[in-house]
Amino acid sequence: MEDLTYQIDLINSKTRDLVLAEFQSRFGASPDYLLRSPGRVNLLGEHIDYNDGIVLPFAIDRATWLAFSANGSDQNNILALDLGQSCSFTPASIQIKQDNLGNLLPEWALYPAGVNWAAGNANLVCVGINAVYSSTIPAGSGLSSSASIEMAFALAWQTLSAWGLIPMQRAFLGKEAENLYVGVHSGIMDQFACACGKANSVLALDCMSLEWHAIPLPSGYTIVVANSMKPRKLSEGEYNKRKADCEEAVRLLGIKSLRDISPEEFDQLSHILPERIRKRAKHVVEETDRVIKAIRLLEVGDLGEFGKLLNEGHASLRDLFEVSTPELDLMVELAQALPGCLGSRLTGAGFGGCTVSIVTDDQTEGFIDQLSQGYSRTTQILPDVYVCRASEGTCLV
């Protein structure tokens, strides 16, 4: 286990050093600040954050590393080190999603530009920034690399411009950027988890009241994430279609939210819904119920029963919400059959990306080896499988 956690610590350390060195090379001075902004894994509660439900994410020990300084102008000069691409924009140019030369912003730049744009809408001043960033979060993996970047730049501009926002307020700034600038109609969960993470704890967030609390993870178990190596791209529209289906179910049922009804009540009413809409809504209603049960199990340390809820959640995402893929289904099926695995499911919005499994400590190394080999034999693709630890949220280092 120590070797597995050492590997990600080493990756993070190398990434941090590369970002610092590249900033010095690019801008001719050391950065004034360095920050770390984690990705997230959602243990349970998928696609219910935008349905006012309760979710169970945690911030992970893979992160965006951002070095930055003020530059005394209104121009923002940003280098995405992983892509080898740079972009400069001003508050004026991003109003029409252009850089300062009149070119359309590249897709990766929409996330920092969106935060700048959302801040301007909130009458928050953003001083011009020189920035270099790199990430140990695989892009398109369902681990919220985009929210991690949004929270990184939100804290960077706050640090330089003295906004004084609390982490949840920065999360909503990132959500506005994601929804209205990037065009993905997501809920608050991803930005919240990245901003508010607590070490060694899962976060229980009520997306209706915004009340939340941290639940310590029981000892003796490991959370393993497996990347199917099939990237996802939510801005292509499937995510937004699912959200629209849920909104239609609410309208047809005459309720304020799918959070408002129990599984039993839904079964009595669901006959009035078209089949596709019924399936989407059934997942949300039952997933909400699963999370309520899961919180009680986590609080008493019963991860055996908790793992069964993960298995049920995957079946629902596969059959009712229809966001799984053959690769994700294979990964989950393999994981669930291995010794020491208490439960496994896709994590994130689906359409590709990663699975999350809960495994007993004593079986973790064998689990990772066997899962990698089994997936590779069937797909001829070598997956990235690794231990994930719950970490602190976005912070200066």
Structure tokens at 74: 């209104």
Q: Contact at 8 Å (CB) between 144 and 82? A: no
DSSP for 144-155, please give it.
-HHHHHHHHHHH
User: Residue 385: beta bridge partners?
Assistant: 226
Distance CA 2, CA 76 (A): 40
Decide: 204 and 149 in contact? Cβ < 8 Å.
no
E-strand stretches of 56-200 = 57-70, 76-80, 85-89, 129-135
Structure token pair of residue 26: 């690019």
Which sequence positions are flagged as catalytic? 190
Q: Take residue 176 and report the two structure tokens written for it.
A: 């506005």
Concatenated DSSP letters for 5-17? HHHHHHHHHHHHH
At residue 188, the 3 state secondary structure works out as coil
Identify the CA nearest to 119 among candidates 78, 83, 164. Answer: 164
Of the candidates 209, 244, 198, 235, the residue with the CA atom closest to the CA atom of residue 97: 235
